[in-house]
A = this chain, B = another copy of it.
Amino acid sequence: MNKLLQVDFHYQGPFGEEMTQMLDGLAQSINHEPGMIWKFWTENQEEQRGGGIYLFEDEACARSYLAMHSARLTEMGIRDIRGIILDINQPLSKINKAPL
C-alpha cells in the first residue's frame, strides 16, 4: 500500500532559486530511489524549515529512504529532523480531490 512520508527540519537556506540550483542534482538522484513515486520540495524561509512530502510504493521503501535521508541530512549538519510515515485515508482523500 502506498505511504506518505512527511519530513521537515531546521534549514537556514539557500531558499528559492538558489536552492533549486544547489539541489538540482540531488533531486535527479531521488528519482532513482526504490519505490519513490513523487516528492514535493517544501520550504519556509521565515520559520527556517526545509523538508519534503513524498509518496512511496510501500512502507519498507519509505522506511529505508527515511533512514538514509536522515543520515545524509545529519552529515550535512542539519538538525531537528522530523520524519513520519503516514497512511492515506483513501475515501476521505478522494472526497477532497487529493491527487491519488
Contacts and interface: CB of A to CB of B under 8 A. Distances in A.
Contact of A97 (B8, B37, B43, B86): B37
Question: How many copies of the polypeptide does the oligomer hold?
Answer: 2
Contact of A42 (B6, B20, B40, B41): B6
A73 interface: no
A96 B31 contact: yes
Given A6-B8, A92-B19, A44 B84 contact: yes
B43 A6 contact: no
Interface of A: 4, 6, 8, 15-16, 19-20, 23-24, 27-28, 30-31, 36-45, 47, 49, 51, 53, 84-89, 91-93, 95-99
